[in-house]
Chains A and B, each alone.
Chain A
Amino acid sequence: MAQGHPEAAARFVADEARTRWHDQAVWWIRQKRDTAAAAVPDWEALRTTAAQIKRHTLSRLADYLEDFERRATAHGARVHWARDAAEHNAIVHGILAARGVTRLVKSKSMLTEECKLNPYLEARGVEVVDTDLGERIVQLAGEPPSHIVMPAIHRRKEEIGELFQIHLRTRPGAADPTYLTEAARQHLRGKFLAAGAGLTGVNFAVAETGAIVVCTNEGNADMGTSLPPIHIACMGIEKIIPRERDLGVFLRLLARSATGQPVTTYTTHFLGPRAAGELHIVIVDNGRAEILGREALRASLACIRCGACMNTCPVYRRSGGHSYGYTVPGPIGSVLAPQHDPERHASLPFASTLCGSCADVCPVRIDLHHQLLELRQALVRERLVPWRKRFTIRFAATLLRSPVVYRVVGWLARRLLPMLPRRLLYARWNAWGRQRELPPLPRRSFAAEYRRRSHGEP
């Protein structure tokens, strides 16, 4: 079994100051989201409508994909289909290779992260430049994004300054975000001008019109698709929405949920290639069609990747995105990852307090905490959870199911635990006690105390 969330998180929280800083930085985004949501009187109606549109779309996804393909094609796009990551990567490389393109600029696409496109292309001689500032930072650092909206949220500005000093020749010790962003602008402008093709993700694909909609704040998707003649857009099958008017609902929710902005700076509706150019749309399944068949989990396909569930999650904020070991971290990642590879990501559904804050902020009302619970049960059934956890869960189940056993064990614990030496009580088996003191044990059980007080005793 691969290393799980607890081990990776332990490394992150070892630096207490950084953990606190990360927690506060991410929480600040949650607060901006709250302010933006509160300023929209019909916010809850929007969430409900968005959830309904997604449920409707998922109930006839195949039809809408065909509609989309037909209309996109009619307007001059080439539509490709990929069953999995390998096929996706081969399609993208095929397009580039056939046209002799060796320089690719990319705007943010979690799908291509999921498919590990960058190393695939680099191994075949293509220079790949991520052009979203946060993505460029993590690319230069040789690490994956730690957040789907703010890929470099885990990095301090001094670290970014050092990175830019090496790669962009910025001044030693410079850490001013304005200065560093300007340096990145100059550096990336050169990459845009030199590129032979631009690749983007897709936020929404409209079945009714055949258009794809891409949202950015920096304008990097627009720069990367308007200078080179070839635009490759990669989308998961779940990006489809039926009507153009549905965009009104999703766009009002997306940026407010993500960063607290009323809308992204650029919301570009691509329909057909630019003059003398090519538009390729790669539609990718990679396990999504199977998720549609799981009744309790299919709502996870409604996700619009705003990141709000991460920003609010007490576990994400304190353990960092890299501790999840998957392209999409946080609550939604913990639902998607184990469906993708249950053995590798079995620890993720347990990286949650099930507090339900994720579901409360989700703009499309995904019942994330219910799905996490559902996955926990499935993983325990399939014995993909460590034996110690399975044993503890079985023990607790036996204990809580029988009032007699519960009373007897409680009675024993109240008498025996205070007599145990600390060395035994806080030994390795007691994971809970590693950072905490056990509470003092009461003399009587709650039931006994309740009976006593009901009889008027003090």
Chain B
Amino acid sequence: MASRDDILATLRRNAPSPVAAPALTGLGVAFADPLAELARSVAAVGGAFVRVPDTASADAAVAALPVAASARKVVSLVAGVGRSSLELAAVGDPHELDDLDLAILPGRLAVAENAAVWVDGSALHHRAVFVIADHLVLVVRARDVVSHLHEAYDRLAGRPPGYGLFISGPSKTADIEQVLVVGAQGARTCTVIVIG
């Protein structure tokens, strides 16, 4: 631990005089219609947006997805939306998920300004599921749509500590001559379904 103590001692020796942390108030702009903004931003990041009144129509929306007809290996972690072809909790090794066609996952909240949907890790069983599936559906309640990231982190503050992530649209890259290509390493499509 000599290095640790060395680094910390140098940092303390070189530290500038104390500077107060800013208050994070007044940041972010609340949208008059966050759902309309979310629909716009999901499309802007290459995703698809669907709004439905209830769980049954969310299920119908999943069935209507182009991938639904051909998907053989499906995982749904949202009760009543889509049908799992395998029990995720029974999968021992995430490598077995390589040919996963479709994953339907619950979003704790969605952010209107950037289409980011928060997915709790505790629900996933395997962290690979959201990125290894060829197609991804994220299901969010309308009351869980917030305007901006500051509001999102305020809401997330009470959650039990653990792994989690924001997903904003399908996997993408523009590393070859700045041409946007969707479906780089992870999901080729990302559909956000808002219920309510």
Residues of chain A having any CB pair with chain B under 8 Å? 25, 28-29, 40-42, 45-46, 49, 52-53, 55-56, 58-62, 65-66, 75, 81-83, 87, 131-134, 137, 150-153, 156-157, 160, 177-178, 180-182, 184-185, 188-189, 192-193, 209, 217-220, 222-223, 225-227, 237, 242-249, 251-252, 259, 261-272, 274, 283, 285, 289-290, 292-293, 295, 298
CB contact under 8 A between A28 and B172, given known A56-B21, A217-B184, A219-B185 = no
CB within 8 Å of A: which of B7-38? 7-8, 10-22, 24, 26-29
**Which residues of the partner chain B approach A247 to less than 8 Å between Cβ atoms?**
149, 153
Say yes or no: is B148 at the interface (Cβ < 8 Å to chain A): yes
Q: Mark B149-172, 1 if CB is under 8 A from A, else 0.
A: 110111011000111111111111
The reply to whether A65 and B11 contact each other, CB–CB distance below 8 Å, is yes
**Cβ of B188 to closest chain A Cβ, rounded Å:** 9
Q: Which one of B1, B163, B164 lies within 8 Å of A274 (CB-CB)?
A: B163
Taking a contact as CB atoms closer than 8 A, the residue among B3, B98, B171 that contacts A82 in the complex is: B3
Do B173 and A218 have beta carbons less than 8 Å apart?
A: yes
- Most central of B18, B128, B170, B174 by chain A CB within 10 Å: B174
In order of increasing CB-CB distance, the 4 nearest A-B pairs are A219-B186, A293-B14, A262-B114, A134-B175
The smallest beta-carbon distance between B175 and chain A, in angstroms, is 4
In-complex Cβ contact of A248 among B29, B153, B163 (8 A): B153
Task: Say yes or no: A289 contacts B27, CB within 8 Å.
Answer: no
Inter-chain CA distance A283–B24, complex, in Å, is 28
**Least Cβ–Cβ distance between B47 and chain A, in angstroms:** 10
Give min CB distance, A418 to chain B, whole Å: 48
Asked if A59 contacts B165 (CB within 8 A), the reply is no
Given the contacts A185-B183, A226-B127, A267 and B163 also touching, CB distance less than 8 Å: no
Residues of B within 8 A of A237 (CB): 7, 11
Contact status B22-A61, CB under 8 Å:
no
Give the interface of B toward A (CB within 8 A).
1, 3-4, 6-8, 10-22, 24, 26-29, 41, 44-45, 94-95, 98, 111, 113-116, 126-128, 130-132, 148-150, 152-154, 156-157, 161-179, 181, 183-187
Residue from B22, B26, B187 having most chain A Cβ neighbours under 10 A = B22
A225-B175 in contact given A193-B95, A262-B41, A266-B165 (Cβ < 8 Å): no
A267-B176 contact in complex given A60-B15, A218-B184, A292-B14, C-beta closer than 8 Å: no
Contact B185 A220 (CB under 8 A): yes
A87 touching B3 by the CB < 8 A rule?
A: yes
Which residues does chain A contribute within 8 Å of B156, judged by CB atoms?
244
Residue from B21, B127, B169 within 8 A of A242 (CB atoms): B21
A262-B175 CB under 8 A given contacts A59-B19, A245-B153, A248-B150: no
User: Would you call B21 and A133 a contact (CB within 8 A)?
Assistant: no
Find out whether the CB atom of A245 lies under 8 angstroms from the CB atom of B26.
no
Q: Is the CB of A53 within 8 A of B21?
A: yes
Q: Is the CB of A61 within 8 A of B15?
A: yes
| C-alpha spacing A290/B11, complex, angstroms | 8
Rounded to whole Å, the gap between the CB of A281 and the closest CB of chain B is 12
B15 partner residues in chain A, CB cutoff 8 A: 58-62, 292
Q: Which of A193, A219, A225, A259 contacts B98 (CB 8 A)?
A: A193
Residue in B116, B156, B171 whose Cβ sees the most chain A Cβ within 10 Å = B171
Beta-carbon nearest neighbor of B92 in chain A: A276
Contact of B184 among A133, A272, A274 (CB under 8 A): A133
Which of A225, A252, A261 lies in contact with B148, CB distance below 8 A? A252
Pairwise interchain contact A177-B177, C-beta atoms closer than 8 A: yes
Q: A52-B21, A65-B11 are in contact. List 14 more A-B contacts (CB 8 A).
A: A25-B178, A29-B178, A66-B8, A81-B4, A157-B176, A177-B176, A181-B181, A209-B161, A223-B131, A263-B111, A265-B170, A266-B167, A269-B164, A270-B163
Q: Which residues of B contact A59 (CB under 8 A)?
A: 15-19
Greatest chain A CB density within 10 A among B4, B20, B22, B175 is at B175
> A56 — which chain B residues lie within 8 A by C-beta?
19-22
Minimal beta-carbon separation of B138 from chain A (angstroms)? 12
A269 CA to B18 CA in the complex, in Å? 29
Provided the pairs A42-B27, A83-B3 are in contact, do residues A262 and B44 lie with their beta carbons within 8 angstroms? yes
* Chain B residues with CB under 8 A of A251: 149, 166
In the assembled complex, the Cα of A137 lies from the Cα of B149 at a distance in Å of: 33
In the complex, what residues of A have CB within 8 A of residue B168's CB? Answer: 261-267
